[in-house]
Structure 1
C-alpha cells in the first residue's frame, strides 16, 4: 500500500511517499479500513515540523476517514461498507480525562492515517456522520470534537448563549457552526476583513478585526452586554488576557490552542474577579465523538473544507496551514 512517511521530523520537505506492506486481515476485535481522506491540524504540523518529537519513518496525521473493508471476530459495531472516521485518543473510550500526552495518538506516538489501508481496533473508530464525504468526515476527529467538547460537553452550551470565537481556523469555524446549530449568538475575531465577511455568511452575529480594534476583548464584552458566556481560546498567552476581559462573570473559557506560545502571564486578579472557569482541554473521548456524530446526523450542517489536496501534495497543504491562508479546514484526499 502507499503511505506518506516522515523521514525525520524537522521539516515539510521530509515527507515522502513510500510502499508499505498490506496490513492484512483484521484479527478479533479489529477492522480493516480503506482510508480516503485526512484533515490537517496544528498538532500534525507540530509533529511534521519537528516541534513535537516522534520516530523517523512515522506515518503522520491524526485524522482518518474511509470505508470498512472487513471486520474481525467479535466486531458488532461495524460491517463491511460502513463509512467510518478515526478517534484522536483511541484508548480513551469514555469517562473523565485519563490521558495527558500523545504517546498513543495516531500520527504522533503511533502511525497515523496518511496511508491507503489500516487495521486497527474497532474502538479506534466511530461511524462517520450521515451524508458526509470522506474529507468532511475527517474534520470531526480533532477540530470538530475539540469545539464540541469545549462548548457542549464542558461548557453546557444552550440556546441564547453568547460565544466568542478567536480566528477562523478549523476549531474556530467548527465552534461557530456548532454554536449556531445550538441556537447561540457568536462573535468572531480575525485580522482579515475578508474572512470576517465569510464568518458573517456562516451566521456570526458580530465580527471584530483585532488589528483595527486592539481593545477587542472589551468590545466583545460590551457587545454581549455583560460579557460572553463562552470563549473558544485558541491563541494562548497573547490573547488570554483579552479573552478574560470578554467573558462574563461566571463564564467559561476553553483553552484549546497555543498559537502565540506555550507559556505566559495570567491576569489572576481579573480571572478571580470574573469567577470564570478557565479549562484546558485536548480533543475528547470516543463517547463524546459518538454523541457528536449523532448530533450531526440530525443537523443541516456541513463542515467548511477550504482546500483539498492530493495526499502526494501533503507538504504543500501544510504550507498553506503554516501561512494561515485557509478558512476552516484543509484536507488531503486519495
Structure 2
C-alpha cells in the first residue's frame, strides 16, 4: 500500500460519478493537449485508509469527498491566490485518484457515495434537463420551499421530475419557445433563478424565461449546441444578472455537506457500474439518455 507523506492522507476510493467535462477531456476538447493526454474524472468518495505525519483533520476510516480545487481553502477566488486552479483534476492534473493534501471534505452519513442571494419559498427556480446538476438543483430548491419549473424532452423523464417535486414540467422539444412557456406558467413573472447548463443552445430561451425582472441566471455548463446570437439590448431589457457558477472552495464544499447532513437529500443515481466495466459507464453517459448520475464504483 502507498504510504502517505507528511500532511497527506491515502483515500480508498469507493465511487466516482461522471461529468460532462469528462467526455470533453477524453475528446481532447477541454484545456488538454489532445485526446488521451489526461485522465478524466473529477470527483470521488471513499474513506481514509492511512494518514501521514502531522495530519489532524482526518483519521483512518473517516468518510470523505474530494474538492475540485487543490489549494482553494476559502475566501474569494483571486488571480493572485495559489488556489490550485491549474491543478483541477482532469486539466493539468490527473483525474482522481491522485495524491490529496488540502482537497478533502468530510462526507455526511446522509450521502452514499451559494453565492448570490439566499433562496426562499417565494422564489421560482428553472432547471434544464435531467443531468446530475439540474436534478440536484431541483432537490435543493424544493428543500428550500421554492417552486420549480423543469424542462425535459421525454414523457417518462417528465414523470420522474414530477416525482422529485417539480411543480411544472415543460417539453422543450414540443415547445421550442419554452422561455415564453415559463412566463405563461408564472403569470408573466418569469423565473427568479435559472440553472443554465445548456449554454449556447439554451441561453436565448433562458433569457426569455427570466422576464424583465431581476432574475439570476447561473451559468453552470455548456452541453447545448447551436442557439441564436444574443444582442446587447436583449440583455439590457431582461434585467437579469448573469453569474458564472463555479465549483467552490473547500469551505464551500464543507458548508454544503453540513447542510445535507442537517437536511438530507439523496442523490439521484441513474446507474452504477463496476470499475472493471468503466468503459460501459462512459458509453452509457455519452449517450445522454441518463436520468441522474452515472457512477463507477468499487463493488
Q: Secondary structure at the match of 1:250?
A: coil
How far is 1:50 from its partner? 2.0
* 1:80-91 pair list within 5 angstroms: 80-91=60-71
* 1:1-334 pair list within 5 angstroms: 22=1, 24-52=2-30, 53-54=32-33, 58-98=38-78, 103-113=86-96, 115=97, 118-121=98-101, 123-134=102-113, 152-225=114-187, 226-248=189-211, 249-261=213-225, 265-334=229-298
Q: Secondary structure at the match of 2:201?
A: helix
How far is 1:101 from its partner? 9.4
How far is 1:54 from its partner? 4.9
Q: Secondary structure at the match of 2:25?
A: helix
How far is 1:171 from its partner? 0.5
Structure 1 distance, partners of 2:249, 2:55, is 20
| C-alpha contact 2:126 2:193 (8 A) present in aligned 1 | yes
User: So what's the TM-score if we normalise by structure 2?
Assistant: 0.91
Structure 1 distance, partners of 2:74, 2:254, is 10
Structure 1 distance, partners of 2:6, 2:132, is 35
How far is 1:276 from its partner? 0.9
| C-alpha contact 1:187 1:206 (8 A) present in aligned 2 | yes
| C-alpha contact 1:241 1:267 (8 A) present in aligned 2 | no
Structure 2 distance, partners of 1:300, 1:287, is 19
| C-alpha contact 1:186 1:205 (8 A) present in aligned 2 | yes
Deviation string, structure 1 residues 18-55 (Cα, Å, up to 9, x no partner): xxxx5x22222211111111000001111112222158
Q: Which stretch has the larger CA shift, 125-134 or 83-92?
A: 125-134
How far is 1:304 from its partner? 0.4
Deviation string, structure 1 residues 248-294 (Cα, Å, up to 9, x no partner): 41110001111124996223212212211011232221111010000
Q: Gaps spanning 5+ residues in structure 2: where?
A: none
How far is 1:157 from its partner? 1.5
Q: Secondary structure at the match of 2:9?
A: strand
| C-alpha contact 1:173 1:328 (8 A) present in aligned 2 | yes
Structure 2 distance, partners of 1:261, 1:212, is 18
| C-alpha contact 2:124 2:191 (8 A) present in aligned 1 | yes
| C-alpha contact 2:270 2:290 (8 A) present in aligned 1 | yes
Change (3 A) 1:263 1:203: closer
| C-alpha contact 1:87 1:286 (8 A) present in aligned 2 | yes
Q: Gaps spanning 5+ residues in structure 1: where?
A: 1-21, 135-151
